[in-house]
Amino acid sequence: MQTLIINIKELLQVRETPIDKVSGSDMAVLPSIKNAFLLIEDDTIAAFGSMETCPKLNPEITIDASGKIVLPSWCDSHTHLVYAGNREQEFVDRINGLSYEEIANRGGGILNSAKRLNDTSEAEIYQQSKKRLEEVIQLGTGAIEIKSGYGLTVEGELKMLRVIKRLAQDYPIAIKSTFLGAHAFPTEYKENHSAYIDIIINEMLPKIAEESLADYIDAFLETGYFSVAETERIMEAGKQYGLRAKIHVNQFTAINGIAACVKHKALSVDHLEIVTKEDIEALKTTETMPVALPSCSFFISIPYTPARQMLNEGLPLALATDFNPGTTPSGNMNFVVATACIKMKMTPEEAINAATINGAYAMGLSATHGSITVGKKANVIITKPLNSYYEIPYAFGSNPVEQVMLNGKLIS
Ligand code: NIG
Ligand code: FE
């Protein structure tokens, strides 16, 4: 089946030659074609170019995109959108002066979500999570990573990962699954970290591998959570099962975690609100993608990832939402792109590169997603009529998305 999108005001992120990511000064360049067409055959991008070169065809569907921008769907490489209930009370507690750390120390935070998760049936978690997934699809996300990490028990972690697997089967969006058993220490293991890590390695991982429930492994490498040495144990164990690491690191403190992640060839290091010169050096000329999560900084009032400094040093950057009940109850990539421009001083070109091709890289999907390239999945956003693509970050809080296409099909 052929679908032809014509009269596109500007077609963004066009890459004739496939690339897996963009770094350094290339981040500032967003290749595009004005007055363009895009031809889709079945679920795949078949051709694109300027309207003058549009072939004479008789497609089943023709979409007139006059005045509209077309770009690859957002690639959100870091979320926790499978969870039970919410944490609205903690939100109000923070308004009233408590910090994220103080709330966590009182048994709130991740352990609060873990209790709710373990008290909720798999069917109910699926129902709650699918609504979030449907919402982010309508907001333009076409590939997403989802983590476990609110179970913290064998059964709880498996339950979450099974929900992720079912979502992947039921929805046309590309989903990668990450095992985050090392998200926090359950209260009973506060004084016995190695016993909990033994459970992760000897009980959780083998079952997850048996049911093929995860693509990646994650840990919260942070003061008061998992130390560098503990995270290294987890990354090593993941490797035995073919799970590459994507690690939460440098959210609140810099404790030389990034160098350890690079040493273990992590696919990504995520958060990076606090970054030292040594961290930046450790990331240079590596295959590890730094991932910034500006909605998290916005919501819990912590520093933003120093994107300018990192880009000026030649590093690549990806942007993701971190959608979760505690630090980022939003899966809106349009807001992430706007916030990256407004608060992190990324240009629109850098932010869109970070939210598409580099996001795809950070979840191992850049061969099929993240750019307008012949042979890639036809996952695109058709915007409302816009003055230019600058309006996507400029009109923050407005929804620029008019239609979304996943695997060549319009989703209504
Ligand atoms: O990425 N920092 C660790 N994990 C999540 C938040 C977890 C929570 O508060 O529920 C994050 O921000
Ligand atoms: Fe996270």
* 110 C-beta closer than 6 A to ligand 1: yes
Q: Long-range pairs for 196-204 at CB < 8 Å and ≥24 separation?
A: 197/230, 197/233, 197/234, 199/154, 200/234, 200/237, 201/233, 201/234, 201/237, 203/154, 204/154, 204/157, 204/158, 204/179
Domain CATH code at residue 19: 2.30.40.10
What is the DSSP pairing of strand 318-319 with strand 61-64?
unpaired
* CA 160 to ligand 1 center in whole angstroms: 16
Residue 153 placed within a domain: yes
Q: DSSP character for 411?
A: E
324 lines ligand 1 (CB under 6 A): yes
Q: With 0.90 as the threshold, say if the pTM is over it.
A: yes
In a domain, 265, yes or no: yes
Residue 106 assigned ligand-binding role:
no
Task: Output the residue whose Cα is nearest ligand 1's atom 8.
Answer: 326
Domain containing 181 — which CATH number? 3.20.20.140
Predicted local distance difference test score (pLDDT) of residue 412: 82
Q: Does 303 lie in the same domain as 275?
A: yes
Closest CA to 194 of 223, 156, 155, 234: 234
Taking the centre of ligand 2 as the mean of its atom positions, its distance from the CA of residue 19, in whole angstroms, is 27
Q: What is the value of ipTM here, to two decimals?
A: 0.98
Residues 63 and 109 in one domain: no
Residues 130 and 257 in one domain: yes
Report d(CA 243, CA 205) in Å as an integer.
10
The answer to whether the CB of 305 falls within 8 A of the CB of 258 is no
- Dist. CA 380 → ligand 1 center (Å): 29
Nearest CA to ligand 1 atom 9: 326
Cβ count near 249 (within 10 Å): 31
Instruction: Judge contact between 325 and 87, C-beta under 8 A.
Output: yes
344 CB-side CA count, 13 A: 38
Of 76, 79, 80, 111, best ligand 1 pocket probe by most atoms within 8 Å of the beta carbon: 80
Is 248 found in the same domain as 160?
yes
Count how many residues are written for the chain. 412
Query: Is 90 a pocket residue for ligand 1 (Cβ < 6 Å)?
Result: no
Q: Are residues 6 and 133 in the same domain?
A: no
Q: Ligand 1: does its nearest atom lie under 6 Å from the Cβ of 117?
A: no
Boundary residue ending a domain (361, 383, 403): 361
- Does the residue 319 lie in any domain? yes
pLDDT at 334: 98
- Cα 179 to ligand 1 centre (Å): 14
The residue whose CA has the least distance to atom 1 of ligand 1 is 322
125 and 136 part of one domain: yes
Q: Is 369 annotated as a binding residue?
A: no
322 pocket-lining for ligand 1 (C-beta < 6 Å): yes
pLDDT at 107: 86
Same domain, 248 and 381: no
Over its length of 412 residues, how does the chain's per-residue pLDDT go in tens digits?
Answer: 999 999 999 999 999 999 999 998 899 999 999 999 999 999 999 999 999 999 999 999 999 999 999 999 999 999 999 999 999 999 999 999 999 999 998 889 999 999 999 999 999 999 999 999 999 999 999 999 999 999 999 999 999 999 999 999 999 999 999 999 999 999 999 999 999 999 999 999 999 999 999 999 999 999 999 999 999 999 999 999 999 999 999 999 999 999 999 999 999 999 999 999 999 999 999 999 999 999 999 999 999 999 999 999 999 999 999 999 999 999 999 999 999 999 999 999 999 999 999 999 999 999 999 999 999 999 999 999 999 999 999 999 999 999 999 999 999 8
CA 36 to each of CA 6, 170, 393: distance values in angstroms, whole numbers, following the listed order: 7, 33, 22
CA of 110 to the centre of ligand 1 (A): 7
Q: For residue 166, say whether it is annotated as part of any ligand binding site.
A: no
* Structural domain containing residue 48: 2-72+371-411
At residue 217, the pLDDT reads 99
Ligand-binding site membership of 324 (annotated): yes
Ligand (nearest to CA of 298): 1
For residue 366, tell me if it sits in a domain: no
Domain count for the chain: 2
Position 164 scores a pLDDT of 98
**Nearest atom (ligand 1) to Cα of 78:** 1
In-domain check, residue 264: yes
Q: Is 378 found in the same domain as 309?
A: no
Q: Rounded CA gap, 20 and 261, in Å?
A: 20
Q: Are residues 328 and 379 in the same domain?
A: no
The pLDDT score that the predictor gives to residue 247 is: 99
Q: Do 27 and 79 belong together in one domain? A: no
Q: Is 150 annotated as a binding residue?
A: yes
| 322 annotated as ligand-binding | yes
Q: Of the candidates 154, 98, 166, 180, which has an alpha carbon nearest to the alpha carbon of residue 130?
A: 166
Q: How many CB atoms lie within 10 A of CB 242?
A: 11
pLDDT at 297: 98
Check residue 220 and give its pLDDT: 98
Q: Are residues 323 and 383 in the same domain?
A: no
Q: 400 and 389, same structural domain?
A: yes
